[in-house]
């Protein structure tokens, strides 16, 4: 089944403890992207990648890192999480060109 | 600045056509209009996209005005399962960047 898989689905962590949210797609898509969703603020893009080793900032990149070492994976790294990064996170991927994005099921992160 | 503006919420009676407007007055010639929807806190789902011609698929129809400054998503026979938040975004054609702004969308409620 074609899908975008995020792990974990739920995570509670403490301030300052480094964490990684993984994202993997099995559709050979070139484009991948990370979003966060907060009440009243909608979906906001964190980082995106248009190919292996090509990443760029979205609207809210502060406090996050990403890497794209292989086509299928696009992990989101929080080096020193803070409570204001408590949010619902989505990863998405798309074929290059005019195709819709496929989104993962989300990761609900709580930083205490 | 938001590239699209949408009403915050709308209601529609079950069985009727739901018409969701979107304003994208600053759209450029190389940008497509895309629509997604999000049911509860699931990952957003791609619905349809278009450049300047009207488009239809199994889920919906997309009507884009001749000047391309606005569009309407039409769900022809709304069901309770169409209750969701609908997002209209603009996206560069082919080789543009993938920095995308989703905004807060329109919360559509289908009334039994």
Residues of chain B contacting A56 with CB distance shorter than 8 Å: 97-99
pLDDT of residue B94: 63
Q: Which residue is associated with the tokens 């999480």?
A: A81
Query: Is B49–A100 a contact, with Cβ atoms under 8 angstroms apart?
Result: yes
CA distance A89 to chain B (A): 9
pLDDT of B29-53, one tens digit each?
A: 889 999 999 999 999 999 999 999 8
With cut-offs at 50, 70 and 90, classify the pLDDT of residue B101: confident
On whether any CB of chain A is under 8 Å from the CB of B93, the answer is yes
User: What distance lies between CA A35 and its chain's CA centroid?
Assistant: 6
d(CA A46, CA A5): 18
pLDDT (mean) for B56-82? 97
Quick check: B95 pLDDT over 70?
no
Quick check: B1 pLDDT over 60?
no
The shortest CB-CB distance from B44 to any of A44, A94, A103 is to: A103
d(CA B47, CA B56): 10
pLDDT of residue B30: 85
Quick check: B112 pLDDT over 80?
yes
Quick check: B93 pLDDT over 90?
no
pLDDT of A40-58, one tens digit each?
A: 899 999 999 999 999 999 9
- Closest residue in A to B97 (Cα–Cα): A50
- Report the phi/psi class of residue A81: left, alpha or beta, with left for phi > 0 and alpha for psi in -120 to 50: beta
């Amino acid at each position: 089944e074609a899908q975008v898989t995020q792990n974990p689905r739920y995570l509670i962590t403490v301030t300052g403890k480094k964490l990684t949210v993984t994202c993997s797609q099995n559709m050979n898509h070139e484009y991948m992207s990370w979003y966060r969703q907060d009440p009243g603020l909608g979906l906001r893009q964190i980082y995106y990648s248009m190919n292996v080793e090509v990443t760029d900032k979205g609207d809210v990149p502060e406090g996050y890192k990403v890497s794209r070492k292989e086509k299928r994976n696009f992990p989101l790294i929080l080096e020193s999480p803070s409570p204001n990064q408590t949010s619902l996170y989505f990863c998405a991927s798309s074929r290059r060109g005019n195709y819709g994005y496929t989104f993962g099921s989300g990761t609900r992160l709580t930083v205490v | 600045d938001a590239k699209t503006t949408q009403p915050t919420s709308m209601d529609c009676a079950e069985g009727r056509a739901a018409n969701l407007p979107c304003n994208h007055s600053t759209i450029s010639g190389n940008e497509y209009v895309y629509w997604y929807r999000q049911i509860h806190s699931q990952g957003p789902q791609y619905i349809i996209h278009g450049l300047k011609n009207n488009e239809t698929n199994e889920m919906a129809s997309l009507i884009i005005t001749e000047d391309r400054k606005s569009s309407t998503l039409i769900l022809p026979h709304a069901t309770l399962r169409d209750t969701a938040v609908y997002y209209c975004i603009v996206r560069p054609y082919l080789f543009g960047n993938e920095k995308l702004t989703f905004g807060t969308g329109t919360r559509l409620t289908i009334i039994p």
